[in-house]
Amino acid sequence: MSPTTKSGEKITWKQFFTLWKVGIANLTPQQRIKNEYRGTVITLLGFFASLVAVIVMREKIGLLSYGLILIFLGSIITIGLKALGMKQQKKVFDNIEKELGEVDDKQNI
């Protein structure tokens, strides 16, 4: 299975990774925040699901479950605050973009 471009052209894996590296380097700050926010939310959901699983299975896991519960709670708080900060950054970027769009519209009048 070889990779293909959006146009359907088959390329080598070396070409693919070269194009991928260029694409990652050209991401805008808004795209970076958006992607990082998505990943953080997915991580947060994983920690939450793990916390629920440890609580449900705590009798089978034993004393280790209490340590895992503390670790997952701390991680949920930390990752949750990180996600909140990224959401606020995204909102700032969106407001700046909106303001710039309004300035462009007024100049075109």
Q: Does residue 27 belong to any structural domain of this protein?
A: no
Q: Does residue 68 belong to any structural domain of this protein?
A: yes
Q: Does residue 85 belong to any structural domain of this protein?
A: yes
Q: Does residue 46 belong to any structural domain of this protein?
A: yes
- Domain count for the chain, please give it: 1
- Sorted by sequence, the CB contacts under 8 Å of residue 35 that are 6+ apart come out as 27
Treating both helix axes as pointing N-terminal to C-terminal, what angle do 29-56 and 64-108 enclose, rounded to 10 degrees?
160
Supply the range of the domain harboring residue 85.
32-92
Q: What pLDDT digit, counting tens, does each position of 17-46 carry?
A: 999 899 888 888 888 999 999 999 999 999
- C-beta separation of 86 from 33 below 8 A: yes
Where are the extended beta strands (E) located within 1-109? none
What does the pLDDT read at residue 28?
86
DSSP state of 11: -
Task: Give the chain's residues under pLDDT 50.
Answer: none
Q: Does residue 59 belong to any structural domain of this protein?
A: yes
Q: Does residue 65 belong to any structural domain of this protein?
A: yes
Q: Does residue 21 belong to any structural domain of this protein?
A: no
What does the pLDDT read at residue 50?
96
Q: Which helix (H) or strand (E) holds 32?
A: helix 29-56
Separation of alpha carbons 40 and 44, rounded Å: 6
